[in-house]
Structure 1
Amino acid sequence: MTTKTQNYSLKQRFLNSIIVLFLGMLFYLGITLVFFGSGIGNAYLIKNNSEKASSNLTAQKIRKNQQHKTTYDASKTESVSTVKLIKSQSQKAYSIGQVSIPAVNIHVPLFAGYGKNNQNLSYGVVTCLPNRSMGGNNNYVLAGHYMGSANAAVLDNLHLTKPGDLVYITDLRNIYLYRIKKISVEIKPNQIEVENNVRNKPMITLITCSDFNTSKYGYGANRTVAQGKLVGQASASITNLRIAELIKSKNKAYSAQNKLILTNKKVIHKSCPRAAAQPKFYQNQSFIKISIITFNIIFLIIISWLLIKIW
C-alpha cells in the first residue's frame, strides 16, 4: 500500500511539474508575442543593431566601410519583421556616418545603399541613390523604416518635424547642417521625383512610411518626406558632435540644448531651434534591457519556487 502511494505521489509530482513547465512556457511565449507585436520588441532589436554598428566608429573605419559592396535596388527590400531583424544580426552592416534630428529625438547610423543582403534597413537609415554625397551639391536622399510610436528607433518621429528643425549628418570628418523647409505625409511610393536633384541646390530628403496613422494614410500606402537645404558645415570635433547629438556625452549632466555650433559659413547655429524631444522612460534602451532581465529573473524564481513546492 505504501509503495503504491509513493509511486502515485511521485507520478503526480512529475505530472504537476510538467504542467507547471508547460503553462510557464505558454505564459512566456505569450508575453514574448505581446512584446514584439506591440512594436517595442522590433524597435528594441533594431536599436541593438544600430548600437552595434555605431560602436567604436571612426573616420578611418568609415572610409573603409565605404568600400564594401552594396545595392540600391529598392524593389528587393522587405517590410520590417521580427524574423528579418533577427536574421540581419548575422549579416554585418557597415556604417558610413551618423544622422541626428534633436528636435524629434532621431539619432541613427547611416549606411550606403540597402546592403549586399538588403540588411541595412534593419540597422538604420540608408542612402537611396549612388553617387550622391553628404554636403554635396545634390539631393542627398535617405530612407528608413517606421517602427511605431512605442519606441522611436529609426525615422519614427519624422512626421513630427517642423520647418526650421536642423538635421545633422557626419562622416566623423565634417558635420553637415541642413534646415528643414517642408514636410509632406501623403507622398505616394511612385512619386520618385522627390529624389531628383535640383540645380545648384544642395539639399536633403528623408523618407519613411506614414504608418503613424494607418486609418488615415493606410499601411505602407503613403510616405512621409522631409526636405531641407544645406545651411553649413562644421568640423567633426568632439564638442560639435555632442552639440549635434551625433555622439553620446559621457557626462550625463551634459545638455546640448541652446549650445552653439560654428559653421564654415560663419553662421552660428543653435543645436536645436526648439526644445529637443525627450524620450519617454519606456523608450530608453537601458530601461528596456533592465526590464527584460528583471522579468526573466522573476519568471525563473516563480517557476523554481513552484517546482520546489511540488517536490
Structure 2
Amino acid sequence: MTKKKQNYSAKNKLWASIRLLVSGLLFYSGVALIFFGSGLGNSYLVQLNAEQASSKLTAKKADQNKQHKTTYDASKTESITTKRLLTSRHKKAYAIGQIAIPAVNIHTPLFAGYGSHNQNLAYGVVTCLPERIMGGQNNYVLAGHYMGTYGGAVLDNLHLAKAGDIVYVTDLHYIYAYRIQSISFTIKPTQVEVENNVQKKRLLTLITCSDFNTSKYGYGTHRTVAQGELIGKAKATSKNLLAAELTGKQESKQTRKITLVTDKGHKTIAPQKQTSLIAQPSFFQNTRTLSTIIICLTILFLLIIIAALSKIWF
C-alpha cells in the first residue's frame, strides 16, 4: 500500500504538475504586480523609457526629432501610474537633447513639449513653452515628474540641489551650463510667473512636484522650482559630453573638466561631485543592475519549479 502511494500514476503526476505550475505562475504574477505597481517599479519603468529614447541620440537625430508633432497643453497631462507608463512605451518619444545635474545625480533625456499623446513626461524632462531657445536670451522652462525616493528617475533629486550647482543642457551641438541661483519648494501650480522671461537674462527654470515631503508640502499641491542663469557654453564634443555627464556614462571616477565660452572669455570648470545628501540609493540608478537582478530571480524561480517537477516525475 505504501509503495503504491509513493508511485503516482501518470494521471496523478500530471495533475500535480499542473497545480505546481499554476501556483508558481500565480505567485510570480503576484510578485510582478506588486513590483510594477510600486514606486520602485514605476521608477524602473520610466528609466527604461528614458534609456530607450536617448539610446544612440545624435545631433542630427535630435534635430529631426524637433520636427515631430507635440503639444504644450499642460492641462491634459496625467499623473504617473504603472498603466500610464506601460501605455507610453507604445507611444514613441523623440528626444531633442539631454540634461544633467552632476551634483545631485540627475541625468535624463529632454523632449519638446508633452508629446503628441502626452507621453513625453513618462520618458524624461520636457520643455513647457514653445519658441523658448536653449541657451537663448529667455527663460528656458523645463518640467518633469517626481517619481519618489526609489532610484533617481527624472527630477527626483531636484530638491537636493542648492545655489551654485551647475545644470548642463545640450542639444548635441552645444552644451549650455547654468548655475542655480535659487530653489523653492513652496511654489503653487498657479504661480506661473516663474515661467516669465526676464529682460536681458538667459535663464533656466526646472519644475517638479514637492512630493518628497508630503507631510510638509502636501501631495501634488506644491512645486519645487530651481532657477539658474547661463554662465557659458561649449561645443558638444564627446569629451565635453562625458565631462558634463551627458552621455549616460558616469562610471569613471576620473575628474574631467570642461572649458566654457563665456561673455568674459573662457572659463574651465569641473562638474561637482555628488552631494552626500542624496536619499536615493545609487544601487538602483542603473536600470541594467535592476534588470540583472530581475533576470537572476526569474532564473532562480524557474530552477525551483524544474526541481519540483523533477521530484514529481522521477
Q: TM-score normalised to the size of structure 2?
A: 0.91
* Aligned counterpart in structure 1 of residue 293 of structure 2, from 291, 294, 307: 291
In structure 2, the partner of 1:58 is 58
Matches within 5 A, 1:191-210: 191-210=191-210
Residue 160 of structure 1: how far off its partner (Å): 0.3
Q: Which moved more, 1:146-155 or 1:15-24?
A: 15-24
The superposition leaves residues 19-76 of structure 1 with CA deviations (integer Å, 9 ceiling, x where unpaired) of 3223212321232133223322111111111111111111111111111110000111
In structure 2, the partner of 1:263 is 261
Structure 1 runs of 4+ with >3 Å offset: 4-12, 273-279
Aligned to 1:134, the other structure's residue is in SS state: coil
Instruction: Specify every segment of 5 or more residues in structure 1 that has no aligned partner in the other structure, as ranges.
Output: none
Q: 1:137 to 1:35 in 2, by over 3 A?
A: same
Matches within 5 A, 1:1-311: 9-249=9-249, 252-253=251-252, 255-256=254-255, 259-265=257-263, 266-275=265-274, 280-311=282-313
Q: Which moved more, 1:37-46 or 1:140-149?
A: 37-46
Aligned to 2:183, the other structure's residue is in SS state: strand
Aligned to 1:28, the other structure's residue is in SS state: helix
Q: 1:214 to 1:184 in 2, by over 3 A?
A: same
Name the aligned partner's letter for residue 234 of structure 1. Answer: A
Name the aligned partner's letter for residue 96 of structure 1. Answer: I
Instruction: Give, in whole Å, the separation in 1 of the partners of 2:34 and 2:171.
Output: 38
Q: Which moved more, 1:204-213 or 1:19-28?
A: 19-28
Instruction: Give, in whole Å, the separation in 1 of the partners of 2:5 and 2:255.
Output: 72
Aligned to 1:24, the other structure's residue is in SS state: helix
Residue 6 of structure 1: how far off its partner (Å): 11
The superposition leaves residues 79-104 of structure 1 with CA deviations (integer Å, 9 ceiling, x where unpaired) of 11111111111111111110000000
Name the aligned partner's letter for residue 259 of structure 2. Answer: I
Aligned to 2:15, the other structure's residue is in SS state: helix
Aligned to 1:183, the other structure's residue is in SS state: strand
Instruction: Specify every segment of 5 or more residues in structure 2 that has no aligned partner in the other structure, as ranges.
Output: none
Residue 229 of structure 1: how far off its partner (Å): 0.7
Instruction: Give, in whole Å, the separation in 2 of the partners of 1:43 and 1:256.
Output: 29
User: How many pairs were matched up?
Assistant: 307
Aligned to 1:208, the other structure's residue is in SS state: strand
Residue 267 of structure 1: how far off its partner (Å): 4.0
Q: Is the 8 A contact 2:109 2:124 kept in 1?
A: yes
Q: Which moved more, 1:18-27 or 1:50-59?
A: 18-27
Aligned to 1:224, the other structure's residue is in SS state: strand
Instruction: Give, in whole Å, the separation in 2 of the partners of 1:38 and 1:291.
Output: 17
Instruction: Give, in whole Å, the separation in 2 of the partners of 1:274 and 1:128.
Output: 29
Q: TM-score normalised to the size of structure 1?
A: 0.92
Q: Is the 8 A contact 2:102 2:272 kept in 1?
A: no
Instruction: Give, in whole Å, the separation in 2 of the partners of 1:284 and 1:56.
Output: 17
Instruction: Give, in whole Å, the separation in 2 of the partners of 1:121 and 1:100.
Output: 16
Q: 1:21 to 1:181 in 2, by over 3 A?
A: same
Residue 249 of structure 1: how far off its partner (Å): 4.4
The superposition leaves residues 175-201 of structure 1 with CA deviations (integer Å, 9 ceiling, x where unpaired) of 111000111111111111111111111
Q: Which moved more, 1:8-17 or 1:30-39?
A: 8-17
Q: Is the 8 A contact 1:39 1:151 kept in 2?
A: no
Q: 1:7 to 1:286 in 2, by over 3 A?
A: closer
Instruction: Give, in whole Å, the separation in 1 of the partners of 2:285 and 2:139.
Output: 32
Aligned to 1:263, the other structure's residue is in SS state: strand
Report sequence identity in percent: 59
Aligned to 2:241, the other structure's residue is in SS state: helix
Name the aligned partner's letter for residue 272 of structure 1. Answer: P
